[in-house]
Amino acid sequence: MLFIGFALLIAVGLAILISADAGSLIGLNEAQTASLIPLLILLVVFAAGAFGRRQRAGELVGNLAVWAALFGVVMLGYTYRDDLGNVAARVYGELMPGAAIIDAEGGIVTFRAGRGGHFQVNVEINGAEVPTIFDTGASAVVLTAEDARRAGIDLETLRYDVPVSTANGTGRAASVVLDRVVVGSIERQRIRAFVAEPGALEKSLLGMTFLETLSRYAVSANSLELVD
């Protein structure tokens, strides 16, 4: 009887694998039927563990219950895989402020809001990682002197002759061109920017000279979405 049960499971599996219409018997389309194949394979493997050797009736029932519970967990995780992925992304964003959640296929990069409601965006500038604040009120990307130095800009050659308004009041900045700016999977070259004079800016800003190169960007209460 044990081997008969195992053989029946294999037969059902083969029937689904070779029949395009098998899923319609239980109301599934072809895509849904195909998505069940990995789960069916797991079920066959689980059944092999239960039926593969002689066992006492009580032990067999216990093993079947364990395999059924495991299969249920796998089935639940597979069914809600998209929701679980979103939850994982949110947790990652909370634990790693400024880190990009990347959808490379859709060209979408998402960031979670920080505790103060600001969006910190980690940007790679000329190969150096620079933490910035998303700011549509800034007409350009603006770097602190420290971040500019990290990005390979020679501060000694800069002329701070552009008046700018910062959180610390009115200051001056130098105009520069950034060779390469990367945010998640989005890359741009030759981006106009400013370098604030030392002490004039607390944190670098991701402003409009980068944002205007995007297809779009959207801000909600808790997330920032940049689209290539």
Site of tokens 């689980």: 46
d(CA 50, CA 9): 12
pLDDT, position 163:
86
Q: What is the pLDDT of residues 133-187, one digit of tens each?
A: 999 988 899 999 999 999 999 999 999 998 877 655 678 999 999 999 999 999 9
CATH number of 97-227: 2.40.70.10
**Cα–Cα–Cα angle for 107, 126, 183, rounded to 5 degrees:** 20
- Best-predicted range by mean pLDDT (18-22, 92-96, 187-191): 187-191
Contact in structure between 224 and 110 (CB atoms under 8 Å): yes
pLDDT, position 20:
47
pLDDT, position 101:
84
Contact in structure between 215 and 186 (CB atoms under 8 Å): no
Band of pLDDT at residue 207, cut at 50, 70 and 90: very high
pLDDT, greater one: 103 or 148 = 148
Q: Is the pLDDT of residue 198 over 50?
A: yes
Q: Where are the domains of the chain?
A: 2-79, 97-227
pLDDT, position 26:
45
Q: Is the pLDDT of residue 25 over 50?
A: no
Q: Is the pLDDT of residue 192 over 60?
A: yes
Paired strand residues for 121:
132
Band of pLDDT at residue 1, cut at 50, 70 and 90: very low
SS3 category, 35: helix
Q: Which of 12-16, 116-120, 166-170 has the lowest mean pLDDT?
A: 12-16
Buried-exposed string 41-57: b where 16+ CB fall within 10 A, e elsewhere: ebbeebbeebbeeeeee
Whether this prediction's pTM lies above 0.95 is answered by: no
Band of pLDDT at residue 199, cut at 50, 70 and 90: confident
Q: Which amino acid is at 178?
A: L
Q: What is the pLDDT of residues 31-90, one digit of tens each?
A: 555 555 566 666 655 555 555 555 566 665 676 677 667 766 766 666 665 555 555 555
